[in-house]
Structure 1
Amino acid sequence: MSSSIPNSDFANQLENMIREFVKEKLELIMKEEIKNFLEVEQKEIHNSRNGYYTRSLDTKYGKIDQLHVPRDRNGDFQTQLFEPYQRCDGWLEEAIIKMYQSGMSTREIGQFIERILGSSYSPTTISNITDATIEDIRKWQQLPLNKRYSVLYLDGLYIKVRRDTYAKEVIYIVLGVNEDGYREILGFYVGGQESALGWQEILQDLYQRGVKEVLLGVFDGLNGLEEAFKSVYPKADVQRCVVHKVRNTLNKVRKKDQIEVAEDLKLIYRATTKEAAIQAFHEFEKK
């Protein structure tokens, strides 16, 4: 399922939602991992589940707290998820996101699972875990979307992808704010360099999945993106993302003044009324 949390500051919420998504999927894989460890790997040994313990995990999107790691009564089970993660910082969360993106084949997902869990398990266990993961991926990708969203946020994050060599590719991330004010990740898409054409294809995919009406699109100033958005949702308003506006502003500020300027800008874009925002802007202008 896609995550949903109350509407608040977009910059933090983007990373928060990705962390929650990765946490949820890691826990799902570990549940399947211990299930097959007990039923396949140790089927001749008297053993059973014994709840879980919690640990934290640092990721490129911030720290995951309260990650539930299952355990067994004999103390024999050790999840294999964290070994590849410790060898290659940031690889695990990127692997999760890539598995849940649109367009990844069953064979590729199987290869990802095998790479994540290594050679510690039998082919039967790897196959069972792969099947359970694929089922969850299909459910997530086919989850019915709302017909109408108040806001669609579009943002691109870059990750390193190994093909013949290592290269950076963009993760297109679409966040929707529904009419009740809750945000949910509508989809991950990975590929190439960020472009207006890439975004247009993603928006067309969302339209085909049921997102027929959008009131407001929020994104950065990528060349051609507004036209691409309007080609799919011609009645929607568009707005430059505040986060990108602030970043562009701070690029023109001396290093020693950036923190103070960023704090003063918050008084403008976090104002509760238009009048208060205008007043805060005039104070900012004078300072």
Structure 2
Amino acid sequence: MVTAPRVNDRRVDEATGERKRFSSKVLAPWCHKSPKISEVLPLLYLHGLSSGDLVPALEQFLGGTAGLSAATVTRLTKQWQDDHAAFQQRDLSDRDFVYVWAAGVHPKVRLGQAHSCVLVLLGVRLDGTKELIALAEGPRESTESWADLQRDCHRRGMRDPELVVGDGAMGLWKALRQVFPGARHQRCWVHKARNVTKCLPKSAQPGATKAGPPP
């Protein structure tokens, strides 16, 4: 957090006779907090800190709360929610995905009492650009959960990708046949290598892991 000091600037412009206004070369007039603080706030919020907890928590690290208040955190929270809603509703009809990686992530964040996971679709366009396609919270990696996410992408214009890579969960493949029947699917090499490594004696597992999957 950076606080702009009060400056009593007595300089006068010789040409106009007007007082000169102090302008910092370090801190821009519109900047009230470091960009790094803006990056860490969503992470702290996801890890369980409420809007009322963020201000005193950051005060312990930064020595002050200039530019950050409970109202500011509330406003930022609303902005994150609006950004998420816009992301979830954006049009997908203007792009084609060659590859799509699908995975279920199980974060240790406050999502209620029940265990939950985040279903993630990450794609690669024709020009090689990677893009986060969609994500959704689900109770588990079931066929219904994966199908709901894929149907939403299809509704927004997404076409069948060439290849979908996943960890081998049957729910994903069943949903894929329902929504994107033209897409081929393949087991992720990392997950396959981990499963094979677990079948080896523990003494041989470090060497097998270091060797990695075959080319």
Whether the TM-score (by the shorter chain) exceeds 0.5 is: yes
The residue identity in structure 2 corresponding to 1:220 is D
| Residues in 2 aligned to 1:129 and 1:241: alpha-carbon distance in whole angstroms | 37
Q: Describe the shift of the 1:259–1:222 C-alpha distance in structure 2 as closer, same or farther (beyond 3 A).
A: same
Code of the aligned partner of 2:145:
G
Partner of 2:186: 239
Q: Which residue of 2 aligns with 1:180?
A: 127
Instruction: Tell me, in whole angstroms, the C-alpha distance in 2 between the residues paired with 1:186 and 1:244.
Output: 22
**Pairing of 1:264-275 with structure 2 (within 5 A):** 264-266=211-213, 268-269=214-215
2: distance between equivalents of 1:162 and 1:46?
A: 41
> Per-residue deviation at 1:170?
0.9
Give 1:125's aligned amino acid. T
| 1:102-141 CA distance string (max 9 Å, x none) | xxxxxxxxx9761562466545433433344344334433
Name the SS for the 1:217 alignment partner.
Answer: strand
1:159 paired to 2:107: yes
Preserved contact between residue 177 and residue 184 of structure 1 (Cα < 8 Å): yes
- In structure 2, what is the equivalent of residue 95 of structure 1? 46
Structure 1 residue 254 displacement after superposition: 1.5
Match among 12, 28, 34 for residue 70 of structure 1: 34
Separation in 2, partners of 1:261, 1:122:
52
**Distance change in 2, residues 1:144/1:228 (3 Å):** same
Equivalent residue, structure 2, for 1:46: 6
Structure 1 gap segments, 5+ residues each: 1-33, 53-68, 72-77, 86-90, 97-110, 270-287
Q: Quote the offset at 1:198 in angstroms.
A: 0.7
**Aligned letter for 2:177?**
K
TM-score using structure 2 length:
0.68
What SS does the aligned partner of 2:100 have? strand
Query: Once the two structures are aligned, what percentage of the paired residues are identical?
Result: 26
1:228 aligns with 2:175: yes
> Between Structure 1 and Structure 2, which shows a larger proportion of helix residues?
1
Q: Structure 2, unaligned stretches of length 5 or more?
A: 8-23, 57-64
Report the count of equivalent residues.
Answer: 184
- The residue number in structure 2 matching 1:259 is 206
Normalised TM-score (structure 1) = 0.52
Whether 1:209 aligns to 2:173 is no
SS class of match (2:91):
coil
Give the aligned partner of residue 281 of structure 1.
none
- State the AA in 2 paired with 1:243: V
Paired residues of 1:220 and 1:244 also in contact (CA < 8 A):
yes
- Distance of aligned partners of 1:248 and 1:229 in 2 relative to their CA distance in 1, 3 Å threshold: same
Q: Which of the two has greater strand per residue? A: 1
